[in-house]
Amino acid sequence: MVSLDYIAGFFDGEGSVVVRFVRDGRYRAGYRVSTKVVFVQKERDVLEEIHETLGMGHLYRRGSDGVWYLEIYRREDLREFVELIGNRTMVKRDALERLATVLELLEGGVHGSRDGLERIREVWEG
């Protein structure tokens, strides 16, 4: 197990927050909003420790480049990640705060309209 401070530092250096708008005709506004936190590393060991400590996400190796990924994409897990790590980060604190706001908007259902999608985009892009 590794500490939350270690995870925050590792995330600042090797992690990213992703908010994407994916065209999808099944949604009223024509898009769905995809959110996730991603850690990337050549070696599995550190990501496995982070995965065990957090108890969330999916750890896998992509065959094309041989790099390991730990992805957290469930909204409940993303909220918990922001709560656990957000105040411990330095570099990516703003991105995590914007992610938290995007998650609130998604839970409020605003992504069902074009105006709502635009609001999410504005929050995410700053």
Where is pLDDT greater, at 30 or 100?
A: 100
CATH number of 4-125, picked from 1.10.3720.10, 3.40.50.1240, 3.30.70.20, 3.10.28.10: 3.10.28.10
Cβ-contact 79, 103 below 8 angstroms: yes
Tens digits of per-residue pLDDT, 10-19?
Answer: 999 999 999 9
The contacts of residue 45 (CB under 8 Å, 6+ apart) are none
Task: Compute the average pLDDT of residues 40-64.
Answer: 95
The model carries a pTM of 0.92
Q: How high is the pLDDT of residue 116?
A: 92
Q: Where do the domains of the chain lie?
A: 4-125
